[in-house]
Amino acid sequence: MKIRYFAWVRERIGQEAEEVEPPLDVATVADLAAWLAQRGEGYAHAFENPRVVRAAIDRTHARPDAPIAGAREIAFFPPMTGG
């Protein structure tokens, strides 16, 4: 499963993308964020307030309780500030 990071989530984690294989009990977007947060200092910093980190599954906005089974690409990023 490919994970992508944007804006300050990317900066804190220190990379744009990576391939991960989370354990089977990581079922939702929120589970995945919590699992990633344990992978190191940068990850912990990025997910220190999980409510402000948004996610997309296969390029579509996803809520924290969205299941990740079958996803090819999951992205984490701050609230959008385009326009």
Partner 1 sequence: MFTVRIQREDFDAGAEAAALARGRTDVGAVVSFAGLCRADPAEEGGRLLALTLEHYPGMAEEEIERHLAQARARWPLAGATIIHRHGRITPGENIVLVVTASAHRAAAFAAAEFLMDWLKTSAPFWKREEREAGPHRWIEAKAADDDAAERWQSTGSDTP
Member of 60, 69, 70, 72 binding partner 1 (CB under 8 A):
60
Cβ-based nearer residue to partner 1, 10 or 47? 10
Measured at the CA of 1, the angle between CA 51 and CA 7, to 5 degrees, comes to 45
Look up residue 79 and give its amino acid: P
35 binds partner 1 (CB under 8 A): no
Residue whose entry in the numeric block shows the structure tokens 């989370």? 22
From residue 2 to residue 21, what is the string marking binding to partner 1 with x (rule CB under 8 A)?
A: --x-xxx-x-----------
In angstroms, how far is CA 9 from the centroid of its own chain? 9
- What minimum distance in Å lies between the beta carbon of 44 and partner 1? 19
